Structure 1
């Protein structure tokens, strides 16, 4: 393990999910110190047994709540870690929906809150400290389908498209301060949930969470210092 000055300090939201686990594993193998955020504390301790008794932080919180994220990330993580080198925002949601003309406001709000507003709520708790230090990486998880609308997915696609625009805007704002903001845009990730939801599909055509985690690791590394507002499409 490196000393505290060179150890990467990384925040991961949606850490207990399939991609979150893979990303956490990637950074653990690099000797990083992690703050793992998920909606339920029980899920975190179940997925990461032993980590809560170490230098890492397991934190339960609502990523759509700016006050929640301020308390967790500014109040607890920055106090404990001193700095955050990289923020990986994985938390979000997916649902098929009604036809666009029949879209319910509840479905629209759910997708926009989970996928777009959460990015604002999470980053506003961390980005100011990165700007102050003139160093940092922020990586969001968007979606390949964000580029174009398709049937019965209007709210989801609109929310992921909104997330991409937020990433681009924040990237332009943060670049002059030494902070890079980018996203990975997977087609379909090979997760247990997706296998269950699409039993007739061929998972061999999907993106492995391990490969996605490595790409996220690249975007969170010094090698990605010249990338700003990019969405790296992950496909097979």
Structure 2
């Protein structure tokens, strides 16, 4: 049976600093892109920055709480209906809370870290996988963190959730081995964003990894030429 040739990606958390770089790169690669977002302003800013793609329908946005399965399913279905299919999932959605040792951590923070970083990935992947399989060359990409393996003090719930993404990528690579779908995780160090510069003004920002560098790596992993790369846990640390 001939496989669909739709070149389309869903980028979760696509309106942040990293998300904007990834969306821009995917569009430049010729893909149609759907993003999920929380902030209407961030979505409007992204759509304005990518005005040509927005006007042509190659960039679509859907507001969704990906910790809710019905919302995650709805976002995937909306993306498929809008773009004609999905071949790539780039899961960037997540968040950080930390700074205290585990004995002082409240359950709310633990659940927040697991839900925003790991549950969102599982639900997005669950509903993208059938479409990725139909493409014959599906790609599941997860943004984890250097902190998932180096596990800095005060970051227990975050590190555990991001480590879960590594296990998820490896598991999916094995579950989907015969389907043509690959699954990989990328582990950035500190990303050079305005927010990170503001929170760490005395750090040497020149050593941090650029969003465009991460976007370039994801571009390759999303390509049809990356069919032999699956189950990889790829560090991208800059000089940090």
TM-score per shorter chain, which class?
over 0.9
Aligned partner of 1:21 in structure 2 is: 20
TM-score (norm 1): 0.93
Aligned partner of 1:46 in structure 2 is: 45
Task: Say which is worse superposed, 39-48 or 135-144, in terms of deviation.
Answer: 39-48
Conserved? CA contact 2:65–2:72, under 8 Å: yes
Aligned partner of 2:62 in structure 1 is: 59
Aligned partner of 2:151 in structure 1 is: 149
How is 1:61-140 mapped onto 2 (pairs within 5 angstroms)?
Answer: 61-74=64-77, 76-140=78-142
**Residues 139-185 of structure 1: CA deviation (Å, up to 9, x unaligned):** 11001121132211111111100111111111111121110010110
TM-align CA RMSD: 1.5
Cα distance in 2 for partners of 1:11, 1:122 equals 9
Cα distance in 2 for partners of 1:191, 1:48 equals 19
TM-score (norm 2): 0.91
Cα distance in 1 for partners of 2:40, 2:186 equals 26
Conserved? CA contact 2:87–2:135, under 8 Å: no
Cα distance in 2 for partners of 1:174, 1:6 equals 19
Cα gap change, 1:133/1:46 in structure 2, threshold over 3 Å: closer, same or farther? closer
**SS across alignment from 1:36:** strand
Unaligned runs of 5+ in 2: none
Cα distance in 2 for partners of 1:235, 1:43 equals 27
Aligned partner of 1:202 in structure 2 is: 204
Unaligned runs of 5+ in 1: none
Q: Report deviation, 1:64.
A: 1.5
**Residues 13-48 of structure 1: CA deviation (Å, up to 9, x unaligned):** 111100000001111112211111111233211222
- The question of 1:162 aligning with 2:161 is answered no
Cα gap change, 1:131/1:8 in structure 2, threshold over 3 Å: closer, same or farther? closer
Aligned partner of 2:11 in structure 1 is: 12
Cα gap change, 1:161/1:64 in structure 2, threshold over 3 Å: closer, same or farther? same
Cα distance in 2 for partners of 1:232, 1:16 equals 23
Conserved? CA contact 1:39–1:62, under 8 Å: yes
Task: Say which is worse superposed, 40-49 or 57-66, in terms of deviation.
Answer: 40-49
Aligned partner of 1:221 in structure 2 is: 223
Aligned partner of 1:234 in structure 2 is: 236
**SS across alignment from 1:175:** coil
